[in-house]
Chain A
Amino acid sequence: MISDPLILSFVMFGIMFLFLLSGLWIGFSLFAAAIAGMLLYKFNLPPTISVWHKIGALIANSVWNSLDSWSLTALPLFILMGEVLYRTAISTKLLNGLLPWLTKVPGKLLHINVVACSLFAAVSGSSAATTATVGKITLDELSKRGYDKNLALGSLAGAGTLGFLIPPSLIMIIYGVLSDTSIGKLFVGGVIPGLMLAGMYSTYIIIVTLIKPNVVPKDDEEFSFKEKIKRSKEIFPVLFLVFIVLGGIYLGFTTPTEAAAIGVIGAYLLAILFKNLTWENFKTSLLSAVKTTCMISFIIMGAAFLSQVVGFVGIARALSEYIASLNLSPYVLIFVVGLMYIFLGMILDGISMVVMTLPIVLPIVTLAGFKPLWFGIFLVFMVELAQITPPVGFSLFVIQGISGEDISKILKATFPFFLIMIIMVVLITMFPEIVFYLPQKMIE
């Protein structure tokens, strides 16, 4: 029996790694580690209550609660939309249409993940949906055309997390309510950092291409202006889809969650229009979407229960309280808080992480002179980082699911983009104006 939350957290972490490395599926590893945590924790139960019964009831309830969620229902729909676009070759058309415009840019089509994710982030409030949809459309096409796999995977992982930073954003809404910060200002505050991050990803791709030209296929195709226009027609179907989905949201017809359904219907309509929708296509797109959805959701189920156990044991609280007790100077404090979130982000999902730590962290951070609005954006970055750190990193799982690549290869590919995100965090810490500029404009 262990009563110290910090020691227990390390023990649980160790057990989880043991299970993971022995080849137990990720969702099951999370369940197993959480059950072990419950058994090891000193609960002081009254004699009439058995700990096994408590664990069982909690698992049943947390699985039910994690799945009975309106905002999650957008996930399978966006995945399905991506599948339909992929199966019916509409995604091929998109890349064909974009290529003529990018031949002069070093990296060419490699920028598509960055651009498509930024665009899609304006539709979806979640990173998993952004990564899954864009990845389905781009990954296969890129490797078919001979682009470097590492850059394709990494840029997808990095840019996919923009779903949280570019509004609408689920995390910002939760933070806004918990911290008494204007959600509108948070939304606006995320725009410049989001675009900067996207810009830095693209810059990185350009630099790598200049150093190692072989990451991009060699075809010195030259396109005349007429040819360019002709080929651009192929972009229109997807542009049309983006327009109806975005338009639905910003003209006030749909909520972001509902927009996913419009996206699916639009994708099927396009497929019918191009006479690409066979029964076979229809069936495989659905079953494939079922597979990806279930894979992610099963991990979400495990993560939900693990988060619940972490909550009971008080790990996040103990860590935050420990940091609060250190009396650090502002920059050291934010550095240590950042480290804490990276650690927590390895085992928790973003929302739990924010909810569990905020009551303790926010007061010490504001006391040290940081503005809640700024800290909100900082926190969104932390949640984004958590998406791409193992062992619980949803973007990694999504990419694994749609690409079938080994997780260690995905990790290696993602690492440079992880570092870029860290640089961006350092930048907004040194120059908070990056965050404040637009919200201040908004008031005037």
Chain B
Amino acid sequence: MKRILRIIETASNIGAVFSAIFMILIVCLIAVEIFLRALFNTSTLIADEYSAYMFVFVVMLGLSYTFKEKGHIRITIITSRLGEKARNYLETVVLFVVLAILVFSIYHSAMMVYDTYSLDMRADTIAETPLYIPQIALPIGYTIFALQILGEILKKFIKEDGK
């Protein structure tokens, strides 16, 4: 069980590393664009398109890590006043709601990627990028996120067993 949890955490961490790498790549791409325009009076013609794609990766790959590090916000006015048992119960229910939304999103974003791929949909830009490539960030990111939630739920049950 511990091993599963460790694997899940590693997945979230790897996601965060890639998220950070994409952030740096955005900076580099925009810098190149400015440089080309200012010095050589030319343009990459893809800087805006590709930095937006990379931003999608930054967000989707970092969601799970952010959750692990307690970065997502919630309102605790009520929950913080509950007794420990009630709070634990409520948190488990909430985690299941989250899992349901994520699984639903995984399925439908994967459907979107599949459609975009099989219908050969491309961006209306000079690069004519096949859109499924940047869109694939969605199901990947959701999946890592869902795993992290699953781990969180497992932890809740282990804790109860421990008592």
Contact assessment for A64 and B75 in the assembled complex, using a CB-CB cutoff below 8 Å: no
Inter-chain contacts of A292 with B (CB < 8 A) = 71
Cα of A366 to Cα of B35 in the assembled complex, Å: 45
Inter-chain contacts of B37 with A (CB < 8 A) = 253
Inter-chain contacts of A295 with B (CB < 8 A) = 66, 71-73
Residue interface bits A275-305, CB-to-B below 8 A is 1, else 0: 0000000000011011111110111010000
B126 within 8 A of A: no
Contact assessment for B23 and A289 in the assembled complex, using a CB-CB cutoff below 8 Å: yes
Report which of B49, B71, B134 forms a contact with A294, defined as CB distance below 8 A. B71
How far, in Å, is A279 (CB) from chain B's closest CB?
13
Cα of A23 to Cα of B79 in the assembled complex, Å: 6
Cα of A391 to Cα of B31 in the assembled complex, Å: 37
A262 within 8 A of B: yes
Interface segment, one of A69-77, A181-189, A206-214, A318-326: A69-77
In A123-173, the 8 Å CB interface with B consists of none
Interface segment, one of B2-10, B105-113, B153-161: B105-113
B77 within 8 A of A: yes
Contact assessment for B24 and A286 in the assembled complex, using a CB-CB cutoff below 8 Å: yes
A60 with B105: in contact, given A68-B56, A70-B48 (CB under 8 Å)? yes
Report which of A63, A64, A289, A400 forms a contact with B73, defined as CB distance below 8 A. A400
Contact assessment for A407 and B75 in the assembled complex, using a CB-CB cutoff below 8 Å: yes
Contact assessment for A293 and B74 in the assembled complex, using a CB-CB cutoff below 8 Å: no
A290 with B20: in contact, given A25-B72, A57-B112 (CB under 8 Å)? yes
Cα of A400 to Cα of B26 in the assembled complex, Å: 26
Contact assessment for B55 and A22 in the assembled complex, using a CB-CB cutoff below 8 Å: no
Inter-chain contacts of B97 with A (CB < 8 A) = 19, 24, 28, 32
Report which of B38, B90, B109 forms a contact with A22, defined as CB distance below 8 A. B90
B59 within 8 A of A: yes
Residue interface bits B110-139, CB-to-A below 8 A is 1, else 0: 011000000000000000000000110010
Query: For chains A and B in complex, what number of residue pairs have CB atoms within 8 angstroms?
Result: 178
Closest to A26 in B: B73
How far, in Å, is A153 (CB) from chain B's closest CB?
15
How far, in Å, is B135 (CB) from chain A's closest CB?
6
A105 within 8 A of B: no
Closest to B49 in A: A70
Q: Label chain B's interface by main secondary structure.
A: helix
Inter-chain contacts of B76 with A (CB < 8 A) = 23, 406
Contact assessment for A401 and B71 in the assembled complex, using a CB-CB cutoff below 8 Å: yes
Residue interface bits B29-58, CB-to-A below 8 A is 1, else 0: 011011001100000000111011111101
Cα of A67 to Cα of B59 in the assembled complex, Å: 8
Inter-chain contacts of A297 with B (CB < 8 A) = 59
Contact assessment for A27 and B72 in the assembled complex, using a CB-CB cutoff below 8 Å: yes
A442 within 8 A of B: no
A22 with B79: in contact, given A67-B55, A68-B134, A293-B59 (CB under 8 Å)? yes
Contact assessment for A56 and B56 in the assembled complex, using a CB-CB cutoff below 8 Å: no
A73 with B101: in contact, given A23-B78, A67-B59 (CB under 8 Å)? no
A265 with B66: in contact, given A28-B98, A69-B55, A290-B16 (CB under 8 Å)? no
A346 within 8 A of B: no
Q: How many residues of B contact A (CB 8 A)?
A: 56
A327 within 8 A of B: no
How far, in Å, is B48 (CB) from chain A's closest CB?
4
Contact assessment for B59 and A298 in the assembled complex, using a CB-CB cutoff below 8 Å: yes
A21 within 8 A of B: yes
Contact assessment for B66 and A67 in the assembled complex, using a CB-CB cutoff below 8 Å: no
A341 within 8 A of B: no
Residue interface bits B70-89, CB-to-A below 8 A is 1, else 0: 01111111110000000000
Contact assessment for A265 and B98 in the assembled complex, using a CB-CB cutoff below 8 Å: no
Closest to A56 in B: B108
Contact assessment for B63 and A294 in the assembled complex, using a CB-CB cutoff below 8 Å: yes
A24 with B98: in contact, given A64-B56, A69-B52, A261-B34 (CB under 8 Å)? yes
Contact assessment for A56 and B59 in the assembled complex, using a CB-CB cutoff below 8 Å: no
Report which of A25, A56, A72, A291 forms a contact with B69, defined as CB distance below 8 A. A291
Contact assessment for B105 and A63 in the assembled complex, using a CB-CB cutoff below 8 Å: yes
Inter-chain contacts of A86 with B (CB < 8 A) = none
Report which of B19, B26, B34, B79 forms a contact with A290, defined as CB distance below 8 A. B19
A436 within 8 A of B: no
Apart from A21-B75, A27-B72, A295-B71, 14 more pairs, CB < 8 Å: A26-B74, A32-B101, A56-B108, A64-B138, A68-B53, A73-B54, A76-B26, A253-B34, A254-B34, A261-B26, A261-B30, A290-B66, A291-B65, A401-B73
Contact surface of A with B, Cβ cutoff 8 Å:
19-28, 31-32, 35, 56-57, 59-61, 63-64, 67-70, 72-73, 76-77, 80, 248, 253-254, 257-258, 260-262, 264-265, 286-287, 289-295, 297-299, 301, 391, 397, 400-401, 406-408
Sample 13 A-B pairs with CB under 8 A, ordered by A number: A22-B78, A23-B74, A23-B76, A24-B94, A24-B97, A28-B97, A56-B105, A64-B109, A261-B30, A287-B16, A289-B20, A291-B69, A407-B75
Q: Which 7 A-B pairs have the closest CB atoms?
A: A56-B108, A261-B30, A294-B66, A23-B79, A294-B62, A286-B20, A291-B71
